[in-house]
Structure 1
């Protein structure tokens, strides 16, 4: 039997979902190198690799077989080939802007542990998506608010979260989309350098963020009596200020 890669889920998984990786059809205790590759939306390449040795039965399950020294990581790391992805361009960050399209992950199995890849034994592709089937992405342009609302499938009411990103500008949607996959009505809120919003965050007015809170509380699919705030970097500072001065803020993270 020729070597092949076995993935679970097989063809597509959510970006924050565990991906089980195994290789079957190898020789007993055969040494191989596994490599993952991914290109971001600008075309920049990210890669990770690890050295492994198959079992006596020719099976290699990353949940049971530790990576050997010499690759991007070592030890028992079932998801190591994903979290260890590094850019070929120094200091480049993996950023997702269009959550409606998945990242395409390439997996390859090479013979041996050499510095250069040996003979290609098997390969597979897998999509890492940001939206579960049925999750709705709703652009919001209400009053001054510039945002995107992500709603879980169904017509029920859901706990509400406002996601406030840090400095960098624009509208950052990945985290909000992933939260909606898990049952939260999540508003990804821009506050500068997006459409007609200010280009620089010289002054931040809490009234703008209060307007977003009120929008969520009045939405028919947001479960009251309050909402949670999720802030990163500058967004964390804004979230703490909102919790100090506004009612109906139930949690801050």
Structure 2
């Protein structure tokens, strides 16, 4: 991995699965072409993945909220594209998630055109606490 390349997940690496996630890459060469990948395993052990090819701007940065995917499991400007475009690696109909209280870990990585990994990050569980408001009691993930 290149120590100069940074993959940032905002607002933080550990957030709710339905919370908008900003994916940014910095430290690339000007106009460098890279592939971003996301991988997650469902409760049945089936691996799901997505990928998208991007061209860094003149400052060597990629921002999924601004930059279009040139190819992959989706194209165009899609800030959450790496999540919604995940496909099973084997024949399987859908992502299995029976308990929303169990955290879902998604691994993100940035690769050179030749395939070598430049950086990686993991979006995983935050912390779980109990929310009590009046008569309502429910788990709350932070």
TM normalised by structure 2 equals: 0.86
| Partner in structure 2 of residue 5 of structure 1 | 7
Which residue does 2:83 correspond to in 1?
82
Which structure has the greater CA radius of gyration? Answer: 1
- Runs of 4+ aligned residues of structure 1 deviating over 6 Å after TM superposition are none
Kindly tell me: are residues 128 and 46 of structure 1, through their superposed partners in 2, closer, same or farther at Cα, counting changes over 3 Å? farther
Look up the match of 1:155: 133
Matched, 1:134 2:129: yes
2:62 is aligned to: 60
Alignment correspondent of 1:98: 99
Contact persistence 1:105–1:128 (CA under 8 A): no
Higher relative contact order (CA 8 A, sep 6+): 2
The residue aligned with 2:115 is 118
Aligned 1:202-217 pairs, distance under 5 A? none
Do the aligned partners of 1:49 and 1:72 also contact (CA within 8 Å) in 2?
A: yes
- Measure, in 2, the Cα distance between the counterparts of 1:42 and 1:125: 20
The structure with more helix, counted as a fraction of residues = 1
Query: Aligned-pair RMSD on alpha carbons?
Result: 2.2
Larger strand percent: 2
Match for residue 18 of structure 1 among 20, 25, 33: 20
Contact 2:15 2:124 in 1 (8 A): yes
Q: Give, in angstroms, the shift of residue 50 of structure 1.
A: 0.3
Q: Which runs of 5+ in 1 are unaligned?
A: 136-152, 159-176, 182-253
Structure 2, unmatched stretches of 5+, are none
Aligned ranges 1:102-251 → 2 under 5 Å: 102-112=103-113, 118-127=115-124, 133-135=128-130, 153-157=131-135
Measured after TM superposition, the shift of residue 154 of structure 1 is 2.6
